[in-house]
Structure 1
Amino acid sequence: MLFWRCPVRETDRYRLDKRRVRAAFDRAAGTYDEAAPLQHEVCDRLLERLEWVKLEPARVLDAGAGTGRGTRGLRRRYPRAQRLGLDLSPAMLREARRRDGWWRRTRWVCGDLEDLPFADGAMGLVFSNLALQWCNDLDRTLADVRRVLAPGGLFMFTTFGPDTLRELRTAWQTADPDHVHVNAFVDMHDIGDALVRAGFADPVMDMEMIVLTYPDLARLMADLRAIGATNANRGRGRGLATRARFEALASAYEVFRRPDGALPATYEVVYGHAWAPEAPAPGRPRGRVIPVHPVP
């Protein structure tokens, strides 16, 4: 008997397995902060942008809170607001709660940015640092953010653009062209269009390139594992990485070595913000059930 396997569409190859994403961030909770200077710097720059915004929200949400750096920044900026930190990883939230202090009144919620477990119009500000790239459906995600924002509320976020890890992507295409090894990232202009489709008003987008340098590929890969940025794409290879494959990857990456001897890793950081119009957002379709997982 012959069996025919339907080929995986290119877009499906980059679909993220959320269980693997969650497990990777759970493993990385204890090592994340030490290996995440870029993520911390981008978070601080995003918080600084709130200085130029006239906003006094009653309730703020850090969507994709990780170990809570953004949430703590929001606490300092809006001390009277009720604060919520949401993340897919319970281990990350436990670390965030530990760093925040047990006496703080931050509410930590384990959930998915694509399925926000909050009431319509509940938030005056949704702040999200480098989390949108872990969502499979950008339109659905932005529509849900729009839903939970109160009229006049603000969505302030960062994410990664298509040139992120371009050196690693190119090297993997040489070393193992049959599988996906680096996430797909959405172009800044496409994100702006998606904000409009979701019903946001006055979207503003900009970007910057940040290049980190490493002495060798092993250090880069170790840092990616330490922050939980492992391969969770559907089109990934199923076997363990062999020494020969890693050596082929390292050899392909060498073409990017700089005159000073360092290996670069490029990140395209996209910044954006948009407002919820005064008109209320459409509610969530009936019959859609969103699980809420308390943090143990």
Structure 2
Amino acid sequence: MNTNFARAAASYDEAAVLARETGRRMAERLEYIRLAPSHVADVGCATGEGIRTLQRRYPSALPVAVDLALPMLQRLPGNAPLWQRLSRRLARPVCADVRALPLADGSQSLVWSNLMLHWLADPRPAFAELQRVLKVDGLLMFAMLGPDTLKELRAACLACGIEPPLRSFLDMHDVGDMLLDAGFADPVMDMEMLTLTYARPRGLLRDQRHLGCRNALLGDLPWRDWRRVLRQYAASAAPGQPLAASFEIIYGHAWKPEPRRLADGRAIIRFEKRPGPQAS
């Protein structure tokens, strides 16, 4: 899967309509959060749309762009605005796995991740690592795909008597529980359905290939069966209407609280000095 993302670096921007839209909606959510970060990181940055959004919003923050696919990171300078290139305000690229980030403990004020975490079979190690690199009172904000993604294509599989091979995604309530288990506080989760439309099924397949995730998303099925499924999918559209491809988007954010225990497991007890009684 990682190799496919790397190979798709040149075609990614052409097809990343959904990622741009979810990134825009994530940025709108930041309007309602009081935050003045000194360090920001976009984890799973692809070609850099997210980190550029954070740089525009927080121009004084030090930006880091993290992705496992090196060819994606190599496109960051060319996609950056001219003023960033001239002023040498480019984000620092880091090629790394989200489950083993080469970032110091408590080094980031805001971590942003747009449509990446759902590709992990188990996101809990990633949540633990993101909690580690955040400062106390730092914010994690993310978007990921939910279980009703491509429900039309799943229904077409079932109508053909075929068990859908498409990737399964976590429910937002399970994601919220994982955040709490990782040590985050006050997680806020919400969901919405976004729909892309296509003239023919090939348009959906082409976009997922250009994004580098067709096999990871659609799974493995003999081509003869896929032809049956795609014919059924195409027939599901009303005459003269485009095909719908629904994507369930889970949005979440959570804060890193003050630690309650030391690394060796000992509990932290804080004493506060209160003012004594005032003489009258």
Any idea what SS the aligned residue of 1:114 has?
Answer: coil
Q: Cα 1:63–1:280, aligned 2, differ >3 Å: closer, same or farther?
A: farther
1:147 to 2:132 alignment:
yes
After superposing on structure 2, the runs of 4+ consecutive aligned residues of structure 1 that deviate more than 4 Å are 173-176, 280-284
SS at match of 1:126: strand
Cα distance in 2 for residues equivalent to 1:113 and 1:184: 20
Return closer, same or farther for 1:281/1:109 CA change in 2, 3 Å cut-off. Answer: farther
Counterpart contact for 2:200–2:234, Cα < 8 Å = no
Q: State the Cα distance separating 1:28 from its structure 2 match.
A: 1.4
Q: Is residue 77 from structure 1 mapped to residue 57 from structure 2 by the alignment?
A: yes
Residue 47 to residue 119, structure 1, CA distance change in 2 (3 Å) = same
What secondary structure does 1:254 align onto? helix
Give deviations 1:45-101, integer Å, cap 9, x for gaps. Answer: 101211211111111110110110000011111111110000111111111232125
91, 111, 122: which one pairs with 1:137? 122
Q: Does 1:87 align with 2:72?
A: no
* 1:195 CA displacement: 0.8
Rounded to whole Å, the distance in 2 between the matches of 1:268 and 1:281 is: 37
Letter aligned with residue 53 of structure 1 = I
- The secondary structure found in structure 1 opposite 2:113 is strand
Which of the residues 207, 211, 214 maps onto 2:198? 214
Q: 1:255: how far off? A: 4.5
Letter matched to residue 138 of structure 1: P
Whether the 8 Å contact between 2:143 and 2:249 is mirrored in structure 1 is yes
Contact 1:164/1:266 (8 A) holds in 2: yes
Task: Could you tell me which runs of 5 or more consecutive residues in structure 2 were left unpaired when the two chains were aligned.
Answer: 265-280
Q: TM-score normalized by structure 1? A: 0.81
Matching of residues 147-186 of structure 1 within 5 Å: 147-173=132-158, 177=162, 181-186=165-170
Partner AA of 2:139 in structure 1: L
RMSD: 2.3
- In the TM superposition, what whole-angstrom CA distance separates every residue of 1:209-259 from its partner, at most 9, and x where no partner exists? 1111111111110111111122238x735xxx53x3342122221342135
Distance 1:280 1:37, change over 3 A: farther
Does residue 39 of structure 1 match 2:24? no
Asked if structure 1 preserves the Cα contact closer than 8 Å seen for 2:198 and 2:243, the reply is: yes
> Once the two structures are superposed, what CA deviation does each residue of 1:105-148 show, in whole Å capped at 9, x if it has no partner?
31101111222221211111101111111112221111111111
Partner-residue secondary structure (3-state), 2:178? helix
Aligned to 1:272: 252
Q: Does the 8 Å CA contact 1:125/1:153 hold for their aligned counterparts?
A: yes
Q: Is the 8 A contact 1:63 1:86 kept in 2?
A: yes
| Equivalent residue, structure 2, for 1:205 | 189
Aligned residues: 259
- Counterparts in 2 of 1:281 and 1:131: CA distance versus 1, 3 Å: farther
Q: 1:260 to 1:209 in 2, by over 3 A?
A: farther
2:89 aligned residue (99, 104, 108): 104
Q: For the Cα contact (< 8 Å) 1:154–1:274, is it kept in 2? A: yes
AA aligned opposite 2:210: A
Change (3 A) 1:281 1:264: farther
Say which is worse superposed, 26-35 or 186-195, in terms of deviation: 26-35
Structure 1 unaligned regions, length at least 5: 1-20, 285-296
Counterparts of 1:175 and 1:22 in 2: how far apart (Å)? 31
- Bigger Cα Rg: 2
Superposed displacement of residue 173, structure 1: 4.9
User: What's 1:27 paired with?
Assistant: 7
| Stretch deviating more after TM superposition (91-100 or 275-284) | 275-284
